[in-house]
Amino acid sequence: MLHCPHCRQNSFTVWQKLRFGSRNPITCKKCAEKSFVSIKYSWLLYLMIAGIFLPSVGVSNYLDSPWPMVMALPAVVWLIQWYMTRVPLEALMKEGS
Ligand SMILES: [Zn+2]
């Protein structure tokens, strides 16, 4: 789901989507139209991050070692990437049209 909703071309990267929320639309390189990342499902992402991170913090505390928390970080990064490649972009219509 890295396709532009205007021209349907694959013109965005995961990290672009991450940086640009609904307040900071992304401009498509191919057609110059603006789009933004749908935030409808962002609670799901936060829930999954918490689901990975909170238990690892608990295990870190229990073992008195930072490693479970450190190991959770790549999982969180992977999860964000996974989410961002799937969440749809929404077309931002020009004002007045
Ligand atoms: Zn486009």
Q: Ligand 1 centroid vs 8 CA: distance in angstroms?
A: 6
Q: Ligand 1 centroid vs 32 CA: distance in angstroms?
A: 6
Question: Is residue 97 included in any domain, yes or no?
Answer: no
Q: Ligand 1 centroid vs 82 CA: distance in angstroms?
A: 22
- Specify the range with the lowest mean pLDDT, choosing from 14-18, 56-60, 69-73: 14-18
Question: Is residue 6 included in any domain, yes or no?
Answer: no
Using CA atoms, how far apart are residues 61 and 4, in angstroms rounded to an integer? 44
Question: Is residue 2 included in any domain, yes or no?
Answer: no
Using CA atoms, how far apart are residues 33 and 85, in angstroms rounded to an integer? 20
Question: At residue 4, what are phi and psi to the nearest 5 degrees?
Answer: -70, 130
Q: Ligand 1 centroid vs 29 CA: distance in angstroms?
A: 7
Range of the domain at 77: 14-92
Question: Is residue 31 included in any domain, yes or no?
Answer: yes
Tell me what percent of the residues of the chain surpass a pLDDT of 70. 90
- As a whole number, mean pLDDT of residues 38-56 equals 88
pLDDT value at position 45? 86
Measured from the Cβ of residue 23, the count of other Cβ atoms closer than 10 Å reads 7
Question: Is residue 8 included in any domain, yes or no?
Answer: no
Question: Is residue 3 included in any domain, yes or no?
Answer: no
Question: Is residue 61 included in any domain, yes or no?
Answer: yes
**What average pLDDT is seen over the chain?**
86
Q: Ligand 1 centroid vs 91 CA: distance in angstroms?
A: 9
DSSP assignment string, 46-85: HHHHHHHHHHHHHHHHHHT-SHHHHHHHHHHHHHHHHHHH
Among 35, 15, 17, residue whose Cα is nearest residue 25: 35
Number of domains in the chain: 1
